[in-house]
Amino acid sequence: MVNFSLEGKVALVTGAAYGIGFAMAQALAEAGAQIAFNCRKQEHLDKALADYAALGIPAKGYLCDVTKEDEVKAMVADIEKSLGIIDILVNNAGIIKRIPMAEMDVEDFRQVVDIDLTAPFIVAKAVIPSMIKKGHGKIINICSMMSELGRETVSAYAAAKGGLKMLTRNIASEYGKYNIQCNGIGPGYIATPQTAPLREIQSDGSRHPFDSFIIAKTPAARWGSPEDLMGPAVFLASDASNFVNGHILYVDGGILAYIGKQP
């Protein structure tokens, strides 16, 4: 029987206070994993702990900026002491800034790359030594369709996510011999509170133009939901994927396979 159980496993999901990170952490917990997560603001941490508790999930939360190596090392050390060696890392924390490239300050570009690419490097670097000692580990990097595509106003995000795709493949290449699998999940357009303004019905009753654009470009003819990422996360975190390494699993409703409707 294929083993999707995560009983006895410890999972760290970065940025899992809400949204797709929270959904994936919930899925890992329901499969049996103990959950640790981080966020950068106390109010988000408090709300997330309450939300996990409401689901019966005894998650352990940390205030930690994953772009700061000393804070990450301290968090990982505490998780290993209180829960055990991290078996599963989901590098989910990320930001996007939608600014035309020629108008974007270099500081904004660097911030996006720092959070979306450098931070996954820092956290993976912190957990890999113990995974090597244990003889097994799973690293899941949350990439994006922008790992493959470009679009107006997302130069920093696309550059970072393209880099994260290649970091994923390099971790797989370098540490596969230690029975560590590193894969990516590339979400499509997901209906979350952060994307809600792009789906608002207009004053004349019509769809938001961006909403119409996404529906037309998606064979599934809908936005994804955070729940659509739960199964892929469990698969890549479990023994069911032990011979899957360096792969990016796009959960996009078919956008990357589709050229679009003829006008």
> Is-contact 86 80, C-beta < 8 A?
yes
State the pLDDT at residue 111. Answer: 98
Q: What pTM value is reported for the model?
A: 0.96
Name the phi and psi angles at 100, rounded to 5: -55, 140
Q: Which of 52, 62, 157, 189 is catalytic?
A: 157
Is 157 assigned a catalytic role?
yes
Query: Which SS3 state, helix, strand or coil, does residue 243 take?
Result: coil
Handedness of CA 60, 157, 139, 195 (dihedral sign): positive
pLDDT in single tens digits along all 263 residues of the chain: 569 999 999 999 999 999 999 999 999 999 999 999 999 999 999 999 999 999 999 999 999 999 999 999 999 999 999 999 999 999 999 999 999 999 999 999 999 999 999 999 999 999 999 999 999 999 999 999 999 999 899 999 999 999 999 999 999 999 999 999 999 999 999 998 878 888 999 989 899 999 999 999 999 999 999 999 999 999 999 999 999 999 999 999 999 999 988 77
